[in-house]
Amino acid sequence: MISPRHRTSAWPSILLALTLLILPSAAVALADGEQHEPQPWIRLVEDADSTLHLDIGMRTFEHVSGEGPTITLVGAVHIGARPYYRALQRMLDNDFDLVLYEGVNPEGTSTTRDAELTQRERVDRTRNRIRLVAILLEQVKRQTGNYPESLDALAESLADNHRASTWLETARIDAWGNPLNYIPNDDRSAFRLVSHGSDGRPGGRNHAADLDFAQQRPLNPTELGAEPGLQARLARTFRLSFQLEEMDEDGEHWVNSDMSIDEINRRVEAAGGDGSMLFGMLDGSGGMMRLAGAMLSLVEAIPGAAQRGQLMIMEMLSQVDDLESLPGMPGGEALLRVIIQDRNQVVIDDLREVLAQPQPPTRIAVLYGAGHMPDLEQRMLDQLGYRPAEPMRWNTSMRLNLERAGIPRMEHMMLRAEIMRQLDAARTQEPAGLRLR
């Protein structure tokens, strides 16, 4: 039997690493320029009956002129209670004319124009597009029992999935502007998927060589949908829900406002950082994903693990302002800058385009991780001339009654102290960007 004391001391070392890796939005990096004092976007409150609730902020902004659309920043966490996501869904569907939402797109869907890439980068992008199309083909096979007869038939099968349809529209063309060659066998139980490279002809050498899906590593269980990704696995371990599994982003007024994984990696590498560990864990590839899965399996075997995991997540996220300074974030400062600031700029650019329309939507919402909000709020003021029009409002993402969960007050206080000790210790370590190069 594991005593509460030993159970408490084990949690931070396990979940500190997981929280940093799978909740990258929990980091704050303010934009350059004149700054106003931002309010916290996450708070942890304890009621009189020993119930803790983790609240996430939302706030409406208006133009300094008092005219034009309102913009409401809706902070989110990617793991929470199911009622939280259902309430967000109802509000965003019914109360707004446009929702710009966070959702990192797969490799191969970058918005950077193919013509701006080097030949080496076009090869890499084409490989990513081939892999993405293969994943979509596998999705259809799971539903129908066979691969589709053509990529047009694949598109028809995905017609009700707006995001997947958009990805296929981009990915079915290689980075030289030529359609991918999809060749199913006679009974459609297997397929070949090939790009003929820069010259568009079979064979060739260097960047003109054929790129065949058969040359790539097999799709892993997460890509095939046979196993949950790390975020979904963490949610299930702690009896919570994963945002992407709970919310429907295919509504007509929902628009993705984000970057793709390869675009993020390209920017991080250009800045001297490394995002491979983070995205390797999130997409199910690499040894770190297997290690994290093994850690969660061990956690699930501990009595009371789910409730203590919820408490750990709530306490960690309530320290969101401190996570920005931690050197343990995989990829270092360059990764943080791209994940927070560069992606926030994508939102600002999209908002600018919407506001320039002759008749823009009246009520606009931006649904993004709460860790993005201080920087995004500053950019809205500096670049768009938008200021807060109301006090912060709060949505409860998860609740935990400590008494019903069997967590004594002393254990809670010890856990909180251990988190602070871990944070303080992490700040004295060498920056992660130096270790990961």
The 10s digit of each residue's pLDDT in 398-425 is 999 999 999 999 999 998 888 778 767 6
**pLDDT at residue number 432:** 38
Report residue 212's pLDDT band, with 50, 70 and 90 as the boundaries: very high
Please indicate, yes or no, whether residues 359 and 406 belong to a single structural domain of this protein. yes
64 lies in the same domain as 160: no
Q: What's the pLDDT score for residue 21?
A: 41
**What local confidence, expressed as pLDDT, does residue 37 receive?**
60
Task: Find out whether 49 and 401 touch, Cβ atoms under 8 Å.
Answer: yes
pLDDT above 50 (res 226): yes
pLDDT surpasses 70 at 30: no
Query: Over 90: is that where the pLDDT of 75 sits?
Result: yes
Instruction: Tell whether 108 is covered by a domain.
Output: no
Under 8 Å between Cβ of 379 and 31: yes
Same structural domain for residues 243 and 204?
no
Residue 96 burial (CB count, 10 A):
23
Asked whether residue 134 carries a pLDDT value surpassing 70, the answer given is: yes
Residue 126 structural domain: 114-224
Say whether both 419 and 290 belong to one domain: yes
Helix 409-427 with 4-22: angle, nearest 10 deg: 50
Beta carbons of 27 and 319 less than 8 angstroms apart? no
- Binning pLDDT at 50, 70 and 90, where does residue 38 land? low
pLDDT at 36 over 90: no
Contact (CB, 8 A) for 172 and 179: yes
Residues 6+ apart with CB under 8 A from 140: 147, 148, 154, 157, 158
Residue 229 has pLDDT above 50, yes or no: yes
Reported confidence tier of residue 108, pLDDT bands at 50, 70, 90: confident
Q: Are residues 57 and 189 in the same domain?
A: no
Average pLDDT value for residue range 360-366: 98
Structure confidence at residue 160 as a pLDDT band (50, 70, 90): confident
- More confident call, 424 vs 178: 178
Q: Is the pLDDT of residue 285 over 70?
A: no
What CA–CA distance (Å, rounded) separates 352 from 54? 32
Asked if 107 and 131 count as a contact pair (C-beta separation under 8 A), the reply is yes
The DSSP result for 359-411, as a single string, is: S--SEEEEEEEGGGHHHHHHHIIIII-EEE-S--EEEEEEEEETTTTT--HHH
Domains identified in the chain, total number:
2
Same domain, 232 and 215: no
Q: Residue 206 gets which letter from DSSP?
A: G
**46 and 13 share a domain?**
yes
Query: Domain boundary at 224, 259, 274, which?
Result: 224
Ramachandran category for residue 72: left, alpha or beta (phi over 0 → left; psi -120 to 50 → alpha): beta
Between 21 and 357, residue with greater pLDDT: 357
Same structural domain, 232 and 342 = yes
Instruction: Tell me what the mean pLDDT of segment 307-335 comes to.
Output: 68
Inside any domain, residue 109: no
The answer as to whether 92 is a domain residue is: yes
Distance CA(113)–CA(106), nearest Å, equals 16
Highest-pLDDT range among 26-35, 42-51, 214-223, 333-342: 42-51
Q: Give the mean model confidence (pLDDT) for residues 92-101.
A: 97
Q: In the prediction, which pLDDT does 5 show?
A: 36
Q: Are residues 269 and 354 in the same domain?
A: yes
* 263 neighbors 110 (Cβ within 8 angstroms): yes
**Looking at 21-25, 314-318, 335-339, 373-377, which range is the least confident one?**
21-25
Q: Are residues 343 and 412 in the same domain?
A: yes
Identify whether 107 is part of a domain. Answer: no
pLDDT of residue 265: 82
**Is residue 23 included in any domain, yes or no?**
yes
**What distance in Å separates the CA atoms of residue 415 and residue 386, rounded to the nearest whole number?**
40
Determine the pLDDT at residue 427.
59
Average pLDDT over residues 140-145: 90
Dihedrals phi, psi of 14, to nearest 5 degrees: -80, -50
Please state the rounded mean pLDDT for residues 384-403.
96
The DSSP result for 220-246, as a single string, is PHHHHTSS--HHHHHHHHTT-EEHHHH
Task: Using pLDDT thresholds of 50, 70 and 90, give the confidence band for residue 268.
Answer: confident
Asked whether residue 295 is assigned to any structural domain, the reply reads: yes
Q: Which of 114-118, 171-175, 210-214, 272-276 has the lowest mean pLDDT?
A: 272-276
**Of 201, 224, 247, which residue is a domain's last?**
224
Share of the chain above pLDDT 70, in %: 78
Q: What is the pLDDT of residue 395?
A: 97
Q: Is-contact 275 335, C-beta < 8 A? A: yes
For the sheet containing 191-195, what is the strand order?
Answer: 181-184, 191-195, 211-212
Q: Which helix (H) or strand (E) holds 214?
A: none
Residue type present at position 74: V
Whether residue 211 lies inside any domain: the answer is: yes
Alpha-carbon distance of 110 to 260, in angstroms, equals 5
Instruction: Select from 25, 19, 106, 80 the least CA-distant residue to 292.
Output: 19
Q: Are residues 296 and 373 located together in one domain of the fold? A: yes
**Which bin fits 406, alpha (ψ -120 to 50), beta or left (φ > 0)?**
left
Q: Return d(Cα 326, Cα 14) in angstroms, integer.
A: 16
Where is the domain boundary, 224, 255, 277?
224
Q: Please report which confidence band the pLDDT of residue 293 belongs to, taking 50, 70 and 90 as the band edges.
A: low
User: Residues 53, 125: one domain?
Assistant: no
What is the rounded (10 degree) CA torsion for 166, 172, 174, 177?
-80
- Measured in Å, how far apart are the chain's first and last C-alpha atoms? 42
What average pLDDT does the structure give for the chain?
A: 82
- 326 CB neighbour count, 10 Å cutoff: 19
Q: Is the separation of the CB atoms in 348 and 364 below 8 Å?
A: no
